[in-house]
Structure 1
Amino acid sequence: MSSVVFVAKETSPDEPRVAASAETVKKMIGLGLEVVVEAGAGLLSRIPDADYEKAGAKIGKATDAKTADVILKVRRPLDKEIKSIKQGAIVIAIMDPYGNEEALATLAKAGATTFAMELMPRITRAQSMDVLSSQANLAGYQAVIDAAGEYDRAMPMMMTAAGTVPAAKVFVMGAGVAGLQAIATARRLGAVVSATDVRPAAKEQVASLGAKFIAVEDDEFKAAETAGGYAKQMSAEYQAKQAALVAEHIAKQDIVITTALIPGRPAPKLVSRAMLASMRSGSIAVDLAVERGGNVEGVEAGKVVYVEGVKVIGYSNVAGRVAASASLLYAKNLLTFLETMISKETKQLALNTEDELVKATMLTHGGAVVHPNFGGVKNEGAA
């Protein structure tokens, strides 16, 4: 008997993405799975039910989750959705586990085996499953588009018979996946771009995209990167020196985009009201870390507000603002991970709890919270 995969329609009003595409449905069926897609699940990502049906899925309703062996979602199931999960079912989603231990306990009590895609280790084998990268890439792109939409001047330099329009000066703070895409997008639009990051490896990446690198390059800077490729928390002394350099630089910028987001921690404050006040009136700041409190002082989640004369953009779920693209990438991330749980011989679910990807991402299993970071017992080799 085939295992049943249920693709849920997101219940959060600000979540337009979906966890499967017509392409991934077709591939799941090719793996020997039966796929049921909740009616209307893909509409906000430009995937009509007919496309899923053409790929071989059945169109169902929310209660069909009760018969599913695997549930694919974008966001962690809410309490009302948890009631429709059968015991032992696998749930794969962006679980947002930090600070949500109570929700994890509820999922464990329901007997669900849950996986947090955002905890996927950054290793070669898991690159195609890295939702943080796939979604951050689009968020970095959209940050520049949002900034350009609010900016009341042209981005590129234009030389006309009536005079010259100067190029916009864009400063990107944080040169991870989102930051690098923001740099590339701003450059494509003709802006003069600069960027900063506390990781030494970022300097070469920034330069390769044609942007100027801005940082205090002392001994602490040269050692500032974790084994996982994330930025380390810097000392107060370094932060003060870097803030002084950045403050001087920001005063000359038209658009500032901040991308500093450390998983499970409050976002570091990078841009103060004083820095905003030093910018020209009508300048733009885009904060991509608003979900963790924001990098820009005065930012408000889900809003565009004026702070010290600067338009501060604090949209939530920025990748969701390009949902049609984001869903295609996210769906592929999920499919690639799900494939590791399917036996090639039997075409049945065969969960290997010793797999490093499973160890790193499994939150609940067998009625308990099992991830060591969230109250579970630490297994040898667990990430």
Structure 2
Amino acid sequence: MQIGIPDDAGPLVAATPSAVQKLGALGYDVVVTEGAGTAAGLPDDTYRDVGAQVVSDRAAAWECDVVVCTTVPDDVAERMRPGTMLVSRLAPAAHPDRVRALADRGITALALDAVPRISRAQSLDVLSVLSNVAGYRAIVEAAAEYSGMFGGQVTAAGSTRPATVFVIGAGVAGLAALGAATALGARVRAFDVRPEVAEQIESMGAEFVSEPAAQQQVSADGYAAPLTQEQLAAALRLYTREAAAADIVVTTALVRGTAPTTLTAEAVAAMRPGSVIVDLAAPGGGNCELTVPGERVVTGNGVVVLGYTDLPARMPRHTSELYGTAVANLLTLLTPAKDGEVRLDLDDVVQRGMTVARGGEVLWPPPAVQVSAGPPAPATPQAEEAAPGAAPGAGAPARRRPAWLNGALAVAGAVLGGLAVAASPAETVGHFTVLALAIVVGFYVIRSVTHALHTPLMSQTNAISGIILVGALLQIGSSSVLVTVLATIAAAVASVNVFGGFLVTRRMLRMFRRTDDDGDTTARNDAGAAGATEGSAR
């Protein structure tokens, strides 16, 4: 089968040479329109070098068995042959007439912007790709507009304070924006109505702004729901307060494609002259009341409001590279035999969720896919029925101990511990003192270290475990059976920690090791494995 890569209207291209090479390995013949990758810095010769057929006839790519593009023209159904397949961003909810036209022509249409949000489909999710690039580019645009430097500077003539960046929303775009701003040295604060993302924000080096009155319960599907009137009022007060203290504000709030208002005209009026607002929700109408989609606006008090809707296209090389990788991953899924033949399996929830038209039928919207971004809600305990003859109240839940009893037990435990230490030899008292200090120091060290450094911190505990191991080995030969048993257990546990720490260190280092893959330099990402090792869930 032939895969066509037409010349899209914008600077993006649906497949880079590395993606074309992967498609060729799957058994496909790739046809690329002449000049399709020029705007992304990819000359035609780079496509020819990997085996693609570069054609000057712009209609040739549209007549292939499979057509892959980043955007579709209004007459896409007329350009393609009946019975072929289209893979692109289709916005099926916003353009039902287009989907109907494709179905009427017998075209199988797969929407890359309808990928189910489940872990198995992340490698196909172009929306995350575009959001990531948009978040990064938002900081680039803000830095160009801002009249100062992001990072604080110390010079012989004096010092400057770092810029303050406030990010509204911690989805893919928001996290990319705060990561880029942190890397530039800015002081970054962020807020999201989903409380479960606080740890992600802090792991990126930003400060999570807490406002319980404006936050929802832990979401079941990873998306924010519309706020109640009380939550909305609390959120708007928070946004107004933070925006007034910020130099740059990045808004990313979208609820099912709709942009709620997060910055009112009054909030913008309270901001300092020279401040910058980058509205990443401009394609959905904008989060700021003064946003004009696609344009740069300067308010009466000197605040710059950027409502650009083409931020990913302003970085065409890397956007095209990531987009093409997602396309190659999709075709790999559709070609299990690697024989150049597409086999669409509608029993697969990922393929079914993307398929909006097939065999003359419109298949949009797809069946709901159950996803869970947060921990499942604990089941409500129910008292079991008492068995016949059981004592009254046997099935009732246990009564909680009163608070005074817990306090009394704590005091009694402290007194007994003090007496045990007082009755111990002076040598043992010293050991107890070292243990207590180690517990206190360890507690404050762990609490003060950012989440992103927990893995390397755990790796450094290998040295401590090694000391424990040496001490245990010295005590194994003791004449006391109890000491020998405890030393053997300590040696075994310390050995597990030492070897486990080396494995964690190795995985951590592999995250930053670069390997050559089809001529491109890529970074191996074992973050999920390292995160699982330290007991954190994404």
TM-score grouping bracket, smaller chain normalisation: over 0.9
1:56 match: secondary structure: coil
- Encode CA deviations 1:312-346: one digit per residue, 9 max, x unaligned: 01111211111100000000001101111114164
The 1-side partners of 2:227 and 2:219 are apart by 10
| Partner amino acid, structure 1, of 2:101 | T
| Partner amino acid, structure 1, of 2:281 | A
The 1-side partners of 2:337 and 2:193 are apart by 44
The 1-side partners of 2:15 and 2:173 are apart by 23
8 Å Cα contact 1:224/1:234 also seen in 2: no
Aligned: 1:62 with 2:58: yes
- Aligned twin of 1:49: 44
8 Å Cα contact 2:294/2:307 also seen in 1: yes
The match for 1:18 among 3, 7, 13 is 13
- Encode CA deviations 1:198-247: one digit per residue, 9 max, x unaligned: 111211111112211123224x73515242x1112111110101211221
The 2-side partners of 1:343 and 1:185 are apart by 38
The match for 1:341 among 334, 339, 343 is 334
| Deviation of 1:66 (Å) | 5.0
8 Å Cα contact 1:104/1:369 also seen in 2: yes
1:285 match: secondary structure: strand
- CA RMSD of superposed structures (Å): 1.8
> For residues 133-144 of structure 1, what are the structure 2 equivalents within 5 Å?
133-144=128-139
The structure that is strand-richer by fraction is 1
> For residues 300-379 of structure 1, what are the structure 2 equivalents within 5 Å?
300-308=292-300, 309-344=302-337, 346-372=339-365
- Aligned twin of 1:223: 217
| Deviation of 1:92 (Å) | 0.6
Higher relative contact order (CA 8 A, sep 6+): 1
| Deviation of 1:302 (Å) | 1.7
- Aligned twin of 1:157: 152
1:262 match: secondary structure: coil
| Deviation of 1:107 (Å) | 1.7
Which structure 1 residue ranges, 5 or more long, are not aligned?
Answer: none
Structure 2 CA distance for partners of 1:382 and 1:178, relative to 1, 3 Å: closer
What TM-score comes out, normalization by structure 2 length?
A: 0.66
Structure 2 CA distance for partners of 1:30 and 1:237, relative to 1, 3 Å: same
The 2-side partners of 1:239 and 1:116 are apart by 33
Aligned: 1:4 with 2:5: no
The match for 1:174 among 156, 169, 175 is 169
The 1-side partners of 2:110 and 2:100 are apart by 14
Aligned: 1:297 with 2:289: yes
- Aligned twin of 2:466: none
| Deviation of 1:86 (Å) | 0.9
The match for 2:252 among 259, 262, 268 is 259
| Partner amino acid, structure 2, of 1:40 | G
Aligned: 1:232 with 2:225: yes
Q: Which runs of 4+ in 1 moved over 3 A?
A: 380-383
The structure that is helix-richer by fraction is 2
| Deviation of 1:98 (Å) | 2.5
- Number of aligned positions between the proteins: 369
Identity among equivalent positions (%) equals 36
| Deviation of 1:354 (Å) | 1.6
1:276 match: secondary structure: helix
The 2-side partners of 1:216 and 1:178 are apart by 21
What TM-score comes out, normalization by structure 1 length?
A: 0.92
Aligned: 1:145 with 2:140: yes
The 1-side partners of 2:15 and 2:178 are apart by 29
- Aligned twin of 2:187: 192
| Partner amino acid, structure 1, of 2:133 | L
8 Å Cα contact 2:128/2:172 also seen in 1: yes
8 Å Cα contact 2:162/2:187 also seen in 1: yes
The structure having more radius of gyration, on CA atoms, is 2
8 Å Cα contact 1:226/1:232 also seen in 2: no
- Aligned twin of 2:92: 97
